[in-house]
Structure 1
Amino acid sequence: MAETLCATHPLEAWKHALAGLTWAIDGLVVKPEELVSAVDLRIDATGPGAAAVEHALGSALPVEPNTWTSTPEGQIVWLGPDEWLVTSTVSRPHELEDSLIKVVSAHDGAAVDVSAQRTSIRLSGGLARELLSFGCSIDLRPAAFPKGSSAQTGIGQTGVLILALGGDDFRLFARPSFAGYLADWLLDTAEEFRTTK
């Protein structure tokens, strides 16, 4: 009888501690998000391939640097002039990759499944920006980093892709091998806000 391997979330060992921040600190919610399908997409943003991708995903590719857009299934994040991260909470990784390969292969594009390269943490609440500011060198004020903004930057010693989801709501994508370090950094830094209840 063959055994089935099940994926374990890279932050499984931190879920309880991160959830504890929510009840211990008013104005802060930190939680690991479910794993999503992710594809690195390369295509000429000014060519016919971009229009084909837009039709397939139901949303235009963001062409302004450091931005992201929503799709019916997930998000498209600008990574470079001809590179995007496409995520889906609905399609399986190979399904998302196959569907995009079909679209871009006729237009000298490429689509590669990178689902195993990133995991995400959701950080929200009135203290979220302040917490991130302890380890992030970019300006996270709402005027400088509004909804729809993204940045490839560092938090603590971890390289992250950060998305402004609106208000005080952020998604942090990190490599699974660094996710535990990032969780520890968030837990340690959040101690600044802890009060005795």
Structure 2
Amino acid sequence: MWNENRSNTAVAGVRTPLESPLVGAQNLLDSNQALQSKAFRLRERPFLDLANVRGDARDREFIAAVEGAIGVRLPTKPNTVARGAEYDALWLGPDEWLIRSTEARKPELEGKLRAALGTLFASAVDVGSGYTVVEASGDRVRDVIARGCPLDLHPQVLQPGQCAQSHYFKASIVLIPTAYDAFELVVRRSFADYFCRIMLDAAAPIVS
């Protein structure tokens, strides 16, 4: 999510700004927002703090350490999300989770997790620079996502509190329903521009 070549550090007394991976598609996003369509809207949630956590879900010390760091207990049921005030935890596998901040913030999550885990047999890795989060919403949002995603998106199958790993056309995604008509999608930085353009292209017949 952060451009690693343009960090938010002072260089020769000048603070360089953070840059979204969707900077090249910003005009398209702005045009979509300007339509104020009830059918479909797309916006980026930039600069969320993201970390990949690996550990043994049967290890009570590990579970307690992560909960102490982020304020929410890691989910152990497949494809579910545990929500907290500052961080959410997404189940990715039996020993793997994606932790993300609920709001944009400086990258501090990895440090907090590493300090909490100490010498436990576990890992926490900052992945914020490699991903971004996009919010898709509207009355027809499931139709737009279904054009490029093979998952069953029926609200009785995929609903808030769940998450799923899949792809949208050629871009791998983590899909997170947040409401009946709203989803968040975690997208790799290298596919972010492609993802944004192809999703808006898929939505064009629906919102026009």
Q: TM-score, normalised by structure 2?
A: 0.87
For 2:48, give the aligned amino acid.
V
Q: Report Cα offsets for 1:73-121 as digits up to 9, x if no partner.
A: 131111111111111236522x211110011233211111111111011
Secondary structure of 1:106 counterpart = coil
Q: CA deviation at 1:24?
A: 6.1
Q: 2:143 & 2:152 partners in 1: Cα distance?
A: 11
Say which of 48, 55, 60 aligns to 1:43: 55
Q: Report Cα offsets for 1:115-169 as digits up to 9, x if no partner.
A: 1111011001111101000000000110000101111110011101111112111
Say which of 17, 20, 28 aligns to 1:6: 17
Say which of 30, 44, 51 aligns to 2:42: 30
- Segment of structure 1 superposing worse, 170-179 or 17-26: 17-26
Checking the alignment, whether the CA contact within 8 Å between 1:19 and 1:29 is kept in structure 2 is no
1:75 alignment counterpart? 88
Q: How does 1:170-189 map to 2 (within 5 A)?
A: 170-189=183-202
Structure 2, gaps ≥5 residues long: 1-10
2:28 alignment counterpart? 17
For 2:79, give the aligned amino acid.
N
- Alpha-carbon RMSD: 1.6
Structure 1, gaps ≥5 residues long: none
1:151 alignment counterpart? 164
Q: 2:137 & 2:178 partners in 1: Cα distance?
A: 9
Provide closer, same or farther for how the CA distance between residues 11 and 101 of structure 1 changes in structure 2, counting only shifts above 3 A.
same
Checking the alignment, whether the CA contact within 8 Å between 2:68 and 2:116 is kept in structure 1 is no
Q: 2:204 & 2:139 partners in 1: Cα distance?
A: 15
Q: CA deviation at 1:15?
A: 2.5
Say which of 174, 177, 198 aligns to 1:164: 177
Q: 1:175 & 1:126 partners in 2: Cα distance?
A: 26
1:119 alignment counterpart? 132
Q: How does 1:41-120 map to 2 (within 5 A)?
A: 41-47=53-59, 48-88=61-101, 89=103, 91-93=105-107, 95-120=108-133
Q: TM-score, normalised by structure 1?
A: 0.91
For 2:19, give the aligned amino acid.
T
Q: 2:150 & 2:171 partners in 1: Cα distance?
A: 12
Checking the alignment, whether the CA contact within 8 Å between 1:65 and 1:79 is kept in structure 2 is yes
Aligned residues: 194
Q: 2:119 & 2:63 partners in 1: Cα distance?
A: 11
Q: 1:15 & 1:151 partners in 2: Cα distance?
A: 27
Identity of aligned residues (%): 31
